[in-house]
Amino acid sequence: MNIHPTAVVDPDATVHPSTTVGPYAVIEKGVVIGADCVICPHAVVTGHTTIGARNTIGSFTNIGGPPQDLKYHNEDTRLLIGDDNQIREYVSIHRGTPGGHGVTTVGSGNLLMAYTHIAHDCVVGNHVIMANAATLGGHVEIGERVIIGGLTAVHQFTRIGDYAYIGGMSGVSKDVPPYVIMAGIRNQMRVTGINRIGLRRAGFSAETIKKLMQAYKIIFRSPELLLQEALTKALDEIPDCEPVARLVNFFRTSSRSVVRMAGDDGEE
């Protein structure tokens, strides 16, 4: 085990022998760290935190700290982190609360850039990118392959759907549908189209992207239709397309309301 002599590792922590722990890092009681991880200098990993394999935990991070919730009173809650994540310098990720899931979950293959924050009870999927200083409030749910621009704040209890792209300096206070590009703050939030580049990179076929663009025009660019009418029309006109069905279902299962206001994307 490659632990620098200045690092502080509690004897009741479990650190895989292949993991490297840098100078002045602190790993506290109850932490479990998997194989081939790199814990950089001055990182702090605390609480009931389990970290998978091949993760890089950057300098001055605080991983597994107590939630910033006045209702929290030192209950035994958890943080679970998957494999192959890059967690850069000054990132903070907090444990869950008894009033939420009791656990904060971060998936695998994510890039969390400098100063990003994931609050208590969040659920973050796989292959998510959070740019510098992006912040998630408590109980936020982030889907697969979401990109969140720098200096963006996401309101607590908000959902962001799979493959969504959030522009930098946004303030997200409503649910953001899957597959779309969104930017703006509060009542100025705008969906400006389907995330075609992201979908192509993820292996979506040209035909599926075309169907999603058709659904986008029905749902977001048909002001004469009420929302439920637009959702029904999208399913009627584009049957047997799972991504379109998932887009419609996201609207129908939202408890916060979903961003529907369309911006100028130049698509006709």
Q: Which residues are catalytic?
A: 120-121, 138
Closest CA to 84 of 62, 107, 66: 107
| Pair of tokens at residue 41 | 């200098």
Check: CB of residue 31 under 8 Å from CB of residue 47: yes
Check: CB of residue 124 under 8 Å from CB of residue 106: yes
**Angle value at C-alpha 127, between 238 and 164, nearest 5 degrees:** 40
Check: CB of residue 181 under 8 Å from CB of residue 169: no
Check: CB of residue 264 under 8 Å from CB of residue 193: no
Question: What is residue 213's DSSP assignment?
Answer: H
Cα–chain center distance at 137: 11
CB atoms < 10 A from the CB of 22, how many? Answer: 18
Q: What residue type is 265 in one-letter code?
A: D
| Pair of tokens at residue 23 | 């100078």
Question: What is residue 187's DSSP assignment?
Answer: G
